[in-house]
Amino acid sequence: MKTIRLYALLAAAFSSQAFAQAPARNIIFFLGDGMGPTTITAARIYKYKEEGLLNFERLDRTARIKTYSANAMVTDSAPSMGAYMTGVKINNDVISLKDAKPQSPGKDANGNPTVDRCGEGEKKSDGMAPMTMLELAKAAGRSVGAVTSTELTHATPASTFAHICNRNTVYTIAQQIVPGGAGYNERLKDGVDVLMGGGRPFFTPFDAKANPKGRADGRDLLAEFKARGYFVAATRADMMSALPNRKFVGIYADSHLDYATVRKPTQPTLAEMAVKSIELLSKNPKGFFLMVEGGKIDHALHDSNAKNALEEVVDFDNAIQATVDRMRQIDPGLEHTLIVVTADHDHTMVMNGYPKRGNPILGIVRDIATGQPARDADGKTYTTLVYGGGPNRLDARADVDDARAQALDYHQETGVRLSGEGHGGGDVKLYAVGAGSAPFKGTIENTRVFELMKAAGGL
Ligand SMILES: [Zn+2]
């Protein structure tokens, strides 16, 4: 009898030791799309002055991340998120498929990119589909969620739950998350437990007038979700009324969600979406995996519109703080929860020298000693923030009006004339706190982030 008790004690000790080695049953992965180091610095100054810090900058651990993809020095959001989610370097434009050549999607009769051409290229291969963090968590019996301020089918969320050789094949990506239907990703088992974002047309039937970007196959994926027991939300109010005993899908916009600066009251904030997701997912005693994307940072940067980009970083930061606060109520020491915050790639926004300390980050550069506007070699004033590439390159520079430069709709000047501002190839930053966060340090590959999360979660 005593021997048996001793054995039971030893077994318990061993299993708790194993548990201690892989303690993060909850993993929350925040991705600020395009949130490069300079964007973080600028947002910090914008909100908290030079001497302040954003909330997520106060997390315990930091690392620098190399973001190049399998075939490109400068990545797009698909392979960089794929690297975080699968541990594999992937080609640009490809969603969580190893060695797949990107194939641009075919257009349907309505002109929408619905035809999946995976496997048609010269390699006749649609690659291998490595398991994603979300799929691994689901396989371990945990609850899983993907939340974004972009369309739900966009590259970042798609790389958590879909596998396809072009990120623009949004109609096919949508059907990969609808349990029981044609094209479903069976690795998601009974379904992703929480899904939130925009992109309603990709989930609803085509109608020439009412829904011209709708599905050519006529499927109503939201009705299919409902038939599978999902609570389907279209507004913030719907979302707030959802109870934590059903799976949840919230599609809050036809396209991406609004910028935080002009957000309609029908749309939830990113913080509200994140906290609601935790309410829904944390009921599972085995834990959960949640991905939250601040996807509009990237949109504003592409638009060379720094003010909205900085506002979006602040909004993203608020969502992270709300999440940390909520998780500390559930798991006070974060002993079972790992929270990671990073970006998928940089942009080409830079800070020019040498504005006076305390000068508005969005303003024109002012001399340190005199406070008078600084001048370029042609005698013109210029803003602190400019972009390496983008549409706003003047043939001959003129003075920049300081008040205009700080307006919400101002587009900063650019060096190379491009139709839109592009991504940067510089390293990005990573912040982590909680269980298993200690190994996040140094300068590491984006694929290594997957390995560290997987180990922390015992997945
Ligand atoms: Zn982008």
User: Per-residue pLDDT tens for 90-141?
Assistant: 999 999 999 888 877 778 888 887 777 776 554 445 568 999 999 999 999 9
User: Are 296 and 380 part of one and the same domain?
Assistant: no
To the nearest whole percent, how much of the chain has pLDDT over 70? 93
Does residue 6 form part of some domain? no
User: Are 400 and 293 part of one and the same domain?
Assistant: no
Average pLDDT over residues 398-407: 97
Using an 8 Å Cβ cutoff, are 384 and 354 in contact?
Answer: no
Look at residue 1 and tell me whether its pLDDT is greater than 50.
no
Does residue 276 form part of some domain? yes
- Identify the three-state secondary structure at position 64: strand
User: Are 94 and 187 part of one and the same domain?
Assistant: yes
User: Are 312 and 386 part of one and the same domain?
Assistant: no
Ligand 1 geometric centre to CA of 51 (Å): 29
Average pLDDT over residues 349-375: 97
User: Are 412 and 327 part of one and the same domain?
Assistant: no
Longest dimension (CA), the chain: 92
Known active-site residue 80? no
Ligand 1 geometric centre to CA of 155 (Å): 9
Q: What angle do CA 115, 118, 123 make, to 5 degrees?
A: 140
Does residue 5 form part of some domain? no
Does residue 3 form part of some domain? no
User: Are 223 and 362 part of one and the same domain?
Assistant: no
User: Are 48 and 89 part of one and the same domain?
Assistant: yes
Catalytic, out of 69, 77, 159, 304:
77
Using an 8 Å Cβ cutoff, are 218 and 205 in contact?
Answer: yes
Ligand 1 geometric centre to CA of 388 (Å): 15
Average pLDDT over residues 374-378: 96
Look at residue 306 and tell me whether its pLDDT is greater than 50.
yes
What's the pLDDT at 118? 73
What is the pLDDT of the chain when averaged over all its residues? 93
Ligand 1 geometric centre to CA of 370 (Å): 39
Look at residue 314 and tell me whether its pLDDT is greater than 50.
yes
Average pLDDT over residues 312-336: 98
Does residue 213 form part of some domain? yes
Ligand 1 geometric centre to CA of 283 (Å): 34
Ligand 1 geometric centre to CA of 301 (Å): 8
In this structure, what is the dihedral angle of CA atoms 221, 227, 229, 232, given to the nearest 10 degrees? 40
Does residue 2 form part of some domain? no
Average pLDDT over residues 162-177: 94
Q: What is the pTM of this model?
A: 0.94
Instruction: State the DSSP H helix or E strand holding residue 44, giving kind and residue range, or none if neither.
Output: helix 37-48
Does residue 1 form part of some domain? no
Ligand 1 geometric centre to CA of 241 (Å): 33
Ligand 1 geometric centre to CA of 34 (Å): 6
List the CATH number of the domain containing 307.
3.40.720.10
Ligand 1 geometric centre to CA of 168 (Å): 13
Closest residue by Cα to residue 165 from 111, 115, 217, 199: 115
What's the pLDDT at 111? 81
Average pLDDT over residues 331-346: 98
User: Are 302 and 401 part of one and the same domain?
Assistant: no
Look at residue 7 and tell me whether its pLDDT is greater than 90.
no
Average pLDDT over residues 353-369: 97
Q: Which domain holds residue 53?
A: 24-348+429-457
444, HSE (Cβ side, Cα atoms, 13 Å): 20
Look at residue 254 and tell me whether its pLDDT is greater than 70.
yes
User: Are 260 and 318 part of one and the same domain?
Assistant: yes
pLDDT tens digits for range 16-60 = 444 445 689 999 999 999 999 999 999 999 999 999 999 999 999
User: Are 273 and 382 part of one and the same domain?
Assistant: no
Look at residue 260 and tell me whether its pLDDT is greater than 80.
yes
User: Are 407 and 288 part of one and the same domain?
Assistant: no
**Number of structural domains found in the chain:** 2
What's the pLDDT at 19? 45
Q: Is the peptide bond prior to 354 cis by the omega test (within 30 degrees of 0)?
A: yes
Instruction: State the DSSP H helix or E strand holding residue 37, giving kind and residue range, or none if neither.
Output: helix 37-48
Does residue 91 form part of some domain? yes
Distance CA 439, CA 459 (A): 16
User: Are 399 and 314 part of one and the same domain?
Assistant: no
